[in-house]
Structures are given as structure tokens and as C-alpha cells.
Amino acid sequence: QKEVEQDPGPLSVPEGAIVSLNCTYSNSAFQYFMWYRQYSRKGPELLMYTYSSGNKEDGRFTAQVDKSSKYISLFIRDSQPSDSATYLCAIPSRDAGNMLTFGGGTRLMVKP
């Protein structure tokens, strides 16, 4: 079983839709959970991160962690064409000096 798994998509939605992006992970010791966004022909950039369980909101973005299910989600409200990108979940491992394990990324397309 991979440590972090993510549906590759692509996910195509109309502008204004609510988007749900998800990852599952296998190591129950993970505590921090991160979301990176990668635009075409660019490197990934950190979008937001959460600690342990619960929700964290930042503008139109909400990150949610369910540690009991080992499931993390990123919700995008009122999606815009500029949100079209690949979204990668990443989890640092304290046992490895906080090296990041990435999911494969979900490609999102928001159509005007």
C-alpha cells in the first residue's frame, strides 16, 4: 500500500462549483497535512496545511483532516478558472526529518 494515495483525475467542473479533492494515507503517526498547488509549467507551491484533525479555512479554501479514517480533503468554494491546476497532498514524516511524501496529484479543470 502506498503511503499517500490520491485520485489523479482529471476533474472537470463548471465555474462556481464546489470542488472536493481527497487523499488517503496509511501511517497513523502522521500529524501535519499539506496541500500544494502546481500550475502548468511551474513548480508546486504550498497552498495550506493543517495539524491533526479538524478544519482550516483560508478564503475559498478549506482543508479537512479525518485521522480516524486517514482521509484528508481540500474543498474549493466558488471555483474559478484560475484554480485550474494540479493539487498535491503532502505529508511530512517526523521519522525522516520532516521529509515530504507526496500524493500523485489531482488535475483540476474549472471551465468558464
Partner 1 sequence: ETGVTQTPRHLVMGMTNKKSLKCEQHLGHNAMYWYKQSAKKPLELMFVYSLEERVENNSVPSRFSPECPNSSHLFLHLHTLQPEDSALYLCASSQVYEASGMSSYEQYFGPGTRLTVT
Binding residues for partner 1, per CB under 8 A? Answer: 2, 4, 6, 8, 32, 34, 41-46, 49, 88, 92, 94, 97-105
* Alpha-carbon gap, residue 82 to 30, rounded angstroms: 31
Choice between 44 and 62, CB closer to partner 1? 44
CB-based contact 36:90 (threshold 8 Å): yes
For residue 41, give Cα distances in angstroms to 45, 54, 63, 98, 111: 12, 33, 25, 26, 19
Choice between 14 and 43, CB closer to partner 1? 43
The x, y and z cell numbers of residue 4, run together, are: 499517500
Closest approach of Cβ 3 to partner 1, in Å?
9
Closest approach of Cβ 11 to partner 1, in Å?
14
Choice between 44 and 64, CB closer to partner 1? 44
